C-alpha cells in the first residue's frame, strides 16, 4: 500500500541533515509523490490554497510557490485565476514533475533558508505548504520570504507545532511588534495526513506584509 512507502520516504526526509540529502531523497520520490500523497489525504496544499484565495484577490501576480514539489498548488492556482505563478524547490526531480504540468511561468532550483535571487517586494503572494517542518526549513527561512513579498501582499504557510513552539511563534510576534507584518489568519492545529498516528500537528498561517 502506498501509505507505507510515503511514511518511509517522509521519515527519511525528516531525518536528513543536509540540503543535498533532502534534494536527493525528493528526487527519488518525485515520480510517485503525487499518487502517494493523494492516497494519504495530504491536506497542506488544499488548506494553503483556500487561505490564499480568501486573502489575495483573483488575478494578483506574480506569485511564488516556495517549496513547490511536483506542482500541486501551482496547478490549482491556475484554475483559481492566478495567471503568473513561479515555482521554487530544492529538488530537480520534483521540479521536473512540476514542469510537466505546464502551469509555472518559471522554475527556480533553490533552497529556502538562505538568500534568494529576487528583488525586494517582488511577489504579490507567496505560498509555502509543508515546508516549515521537521528536517526541512526552520525560522531561518521566514525573513527572506517576507523580504521578497511586496507591501500589502500575503504569505501563506504551514508550520509544524514543533517549530511553532520552538521559536516560530515568538518570531512572528516580534515581527508584528516591529510593524513588519500583520497576522491575518491562523488555523487550529490539524494533522497533515489523516489516518496517521503519532503525527505532530501543523497550522496554517496567513501573514500580510506591511
**Which of 90-94, 136-140, 194-198 is most confident?**
90-94
Mean pLDDT of the chain: 84
CA angle 139, 63, 55 (to 5 degrees): 80
Percent of the chain with pLDDT over 90: 62
Alpha carbon distance 187, 93 (integer Å): 31
Among 1-5, 25-29, 53-57, 146-150, the range scoring the smallest mean pLDDT is 1-5
Indicate whether 156 pLDDT > 80.
yes
- Name the packing angle between helices 92-101 and 19-40 (round to 10°): 40
Tell me which of 91 and 23 has the higher pLDDT.
Answer: 91
In the chain, what are the domains? 2-209 (3.40.50.150)
pTM: 0.82
Alpha carbon distance 177, 50 (integer Å): 27
C-alpha cell at 183: 497576522
Q: Which residues pair with 208 in a beta bridge?
A: 154, 182
Amino acid at each position: 500500500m502506498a501509505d507505507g512507502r510515503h511514511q518511509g520516504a517522509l521519515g527519511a526526509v525528516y531525518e536528513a541533515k543536509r540540503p543535498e540529502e533532502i534534494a536527493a531523497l525528493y528526487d527519488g520520490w518525485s515520480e510517485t509523490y503525487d499518487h502517494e500523497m493523494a492516497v494519504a489525504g495530504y491536506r497542506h496544499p488544499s488548506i494553503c490554497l483556500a487561505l490564499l484565495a480568501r486573502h489575495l484577490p483573483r488575478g494578483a501576480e506574480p506569485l511564488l510557490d516556495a517549496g513547490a514539489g511536483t506542482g500541486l498548488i501551482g496547478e490549482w492556482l491556475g484554475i483559481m485565476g492566478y495567471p503568473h505563478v513561479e515555482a521554487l524547490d530544492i529538488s530537480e526531480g520534483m521540479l521536473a514533475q512540476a514542469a510537466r504540468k505546464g502551469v509555472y511561468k518559471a522554475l527556480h532550483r533553490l533552497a529556502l533558508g538562505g538568500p534568494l535571487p529576487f528583488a525586494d517586494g517582488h511577489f504579490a503572494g507567496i505560498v509555502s505548504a509543508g515546508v516549515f517542518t521537521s528536517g526541512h526549513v526552520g525560522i531561518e527561512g521566514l525573513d527572506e520570504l517576507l523580504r521578497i513579498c511586496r507591501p500589502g501582499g500575503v504569505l501563506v504557510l504551514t508550520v509544524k507545532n514543533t517549530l511553532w513552539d520552538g521559536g516560530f511563534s515568538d518570531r512572528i510576534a516580534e515581527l508584528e511588534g516591529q510593524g513588519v507584518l500583520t497576522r491575518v489568519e491562523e488555523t487550529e492545529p490539524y494533522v497533515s495526513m489523516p489516518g496517521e498516528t503519532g503525527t505532530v500537528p501543523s497550522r496554517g498561517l496567513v501573514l500580510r506584509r506591511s
